[in-house]
Every structure is written in C-alpha cells, then in structure tokens.
Amino acid sequence: MSRLKRLISRLRGKPEEENELDTSDISSGETTETKSLETTESVKSVNPTPPPNGTLVASQKGMLIDQEITTELAERAKISRQRVEEIVPGRSIRRDGQGRVHIKIVFYGPSLSGKTTALRWLFANVRSLSKGKIVEIADELGRTTFFDFVPIAANEKIVFDVFTVAGQRRHAQSRITVLRDVDGLIFMADSQPEQMNENLASIQELRIALGTDRLATMPIVVALNKRDLPNALPIDYMVRMLDLEGLPVFPTIATEGKNLLKMFQRLLRDALIFKIGI
C-alpha cells in the first residue's frame, strides 16, 4: 500500500516539475536529461537537422564590413562621388576607337553564389548577341580570383562589357576595383540559409563602395540563386533581410539557366535607358 501511495504522489507531482522548467534556457535539440548533466562548462547545443525555411543563420559580427577600410579601397579604385552628368542620359558615354559605346555590367555577390556559372550560361546560350572571347582568371578550385569578362555587342554601335567579381572577402580590393565606371549591376545572392551572412556582407560592401547616390540611380537587378535547393530561404524574406525592396527580383537556378535570360535582358534594357536614353 505504501508503494501505491508513493506512486500516486509521484504522478501528482510530475506536472509541477514540468511547469518549473525554464524553456528559455533550452536550446534546440537539448533535453531535460542534458540539462541535468550541465556542469560549469556550457552545454553544446546539438541540432542535427538543417534549419527550417525562414531561419537566418547569421551573426551580426560575421556580416559586418569595415566601413573605413572599404571606403579607402573605393578611393584607391578611383570611385568618386557621382557627378550630375552621370545621371543624365547621353551626357557621360564611353566610346572606343571604332566609335562604339561601351556599357559596363557587373555581377556582384558573395563567393560561390553562382556569378561565373551565370555568365558562362549566358555566354553559351544567348545567340542573339555577338560575343567576344570570355576571359576567366580562377584559382585551382575554379573560383574567380579577379574577374571574368566578356564583351557582348548588341549591335555595331553598342557593346556591353560584362564582368563578374571574386566573391571571397580577401579579394576586396580587386572586387571593388571592378566596380569603377560600372553602369549596371546584377546582385546575385545565395539562397542557402548558411550563406546569408555572406549575402549581407556583400550588399553592405557594395553600398559603402559605391555610395547611396550611385545606387539610388543605377540600374540594378537582383538574382536570388540556387532556388532548386530544398532549404532555399523564402524570396520575400531574403528581399526584406537584404533591404532590396523595390528592385526587380529574379529567382534563378544558374546551373540550369532558369530566369537568367529574363534577368539579363531586363538589366541591359535598363542600362541602355539609363546611359543613352533609348
């Protein structure tokens, strides 16, 4: 009988014990058993499953770009404040020895986001444009170390000089140098949650290097790449986190060419209107 009483008392006391647990101290994957084993050392959080859609895997410290250093790199690259004539169509035009107008387009974004893959696909599949030889400078892993470049002639009078940049943070100087005299931008972000830190750092660097005045008037399109991945972040979430509201956004799969042509055509059209006024 005494055993029965003890059993009943334990059953009655169980809800009270559960209510006393502080769930705010329990990290994902941590159990009450893990908590009871906690000593003076902090317990490592265990989360074997990938983060759900909408989860931001980023830290404020990891995304920060040094504004002073980035500003200095932009000055070395001779990226000056925007002049009035630069925002007036037809007033600031670069021509080559043949009289052709050159418009500079840059793919910008973090390392391995798909910039070079997108440029290669466009080079191989856009038949309506006359293309020169693609120039690639890459490391032993195939990642861009300085830039990829291909001149694309829309007609006999207009040439688009298309560049991609090295996304690795250590190549900040060469990356920012490529931004000099840019006429249109394709910002390519990686849709994987674990890459949001790099997306944030890249867009922050871009804003510092070019300045808000240039970015406010320059033609820009956004490619949210790798949309085929099962853990791809929601589009509206990425746009909000990267503060890209109001810009044309294209969900892309660079390896398949999905939406690359539409994205590219949109930027070329906007760049022509912005630079020449046609």
| 12: confidence class by pLDDT, cuts 50, 70, 90 | low
Taking residue 221's Cβ as centre, other Cβ atoms within 10 Å add up to 22
- Give the H or E element holding residue 109: none
> How would residue 22 be classed by pLDDT, with cut points 50, 70 and 90?
very low
The pLDDT value given to residue 15:
44
Residue in the structure block whose two tokens are 């293309």? 131
Domain assignments of the chain as residue spans, ordered by start: 2-36, 60-275
Q: Which residue has the higher pLDDT, 45 or 267?
A: 267
CATH number of 60-275: 3.40.50.300
Inform me whether the pLDDT recorded for 2 exceeds 50. yes
Question: What torsion, rounded to 10 degrees, do the Cα atoms 176, 181, 185, 187 define?
Answer: 0
Q: What are the tokens at 184? A: 């249109």
* 33 vs 148, higher pLDDT: 148
pLDDT at residue 114, as a whole number:
93
Phi then psi dihedrals of residue 213, to 5 deg: -65, -45
pLDDT tens digits, one per residue of 231-276: 999 999 999 999 999 999 999 999 999 999 999 999 999 999 999 8
pLDDT bin (cut points 50, 70, 90) of residue 130 is low
- pLDDT at position 168, please? 64
Residues 6+ apart with CB under 8 A from 158: 100, 101, 103, 272, 276
Beta strands at 220-225 and 94-95: parallel, antiparallel or unpaired? unpaired
**Whole-prediction pTM:** 0.72
- Bridge partners of residue 227, in order along the sequence: none
Q: At residue 134, does pLDDT exceed 70?
A: no
Question: Which of 249, 245, 272 lies closest to 262 in space, CA to CA?
Answer: 249
Q: How much is the average pLDDT of 154-159? A: 82
Q: What is the pLDDT of residue 1?
A: 52
Query: Per-residue confidence at 19, pLDDT binned at 50, 70, 90?
Result: very low
According to the model, what pLDDT value does residue 123 have?
83
176 within 8 A of 75, measured Cβ to Cβ: no
Q: What is the mean pLDDT of the chain?
A: 76
Rg of the chain, C-alpha, whole Å: 26
